[in-house]
Amino acid sequence: MTFHSDSVEQTEAIASELAAQLRGGECIALSGEMGAGKTQFVRGLVRGLGGSSRSVSSPTYVLLNVYPGGRLTVFHLDAYRVGGADDFDAIGFPELLEQGGVVVVEWPQRVAPLLPGRRIAVHISPIGPSQRVVDIVHANEEHNL
């Protein structure tokens, strides 16, 4: 599905709508260039799950942020600075997938071998200063990130 956003608030609302469909155990492969709105998307996801969106920040330097308090815990990972799949394995990525929460991976192409075949691929593309196209695909092994 493709959505168009004209603001940060709309991007967050799109993520909040996706959150309503989540049951736990999902992996979201979240891609887009720097500044595309990935962190805003996660804010909307956390808010949509009933958590505190104020606590959401980019995990670029810490690799993993955990947002409990909603109906599902969100595990927010960033693969931008990792050396490869081994770094994600070392922080317990496979175990996170088994926690029954929602695992969101930014820059998923850097750790593609670790991602489950069944995942939700979200790609955010800037098309203007505040406009974004958000593509959401429920992917399986036959689809690319």
Contacts of 41 (CB under 8 A, 6+ apart): 11, 12, 14, 15, 30, 122, 124, 134
Q: How do strand 64-67 and strand 74-78 relate by DSSP bridges?
A: antiparallel
Within-domain flag for 110: yes
Is 144 within the bounds of a domain?
no
In a domain, 30, yes or no: yes
Q: SS3 of 22, please?
A: coil
pLDDT per residue as tens digits for the range 54-95:
888 877 667 788 999 889 999 999 888 777 777 777 878 889
CATH number at residue 123: 3.40.50.300
**Number of domains making up the chain:** 1
Range of the domain at 83: 2-139
Amino acid 69: pLDDT: 82
Q: What is the pLDDT of residue 87?
A: 77
Within a domain: 145: no
The confidence score (pLDDT) of residue 85 equals 73
Do the domain assignments include residue 119? yes
User: Residues of the chain whose pLDDT is less than 50?
Assistant: 141-145
Residue 21 forms part of a structural domain: yes
Write down the pTM of the prediction: 0.89
Residue 142 pLDDT: 45
Residue 115, sorted as left (phi over 0), alpha (psi -120 to 50) or beta, turns out to be beta
| 118 inside domain | yes
Q: Which residues contact 9 (CB under 8 A, 6 or more apart)?
A: none
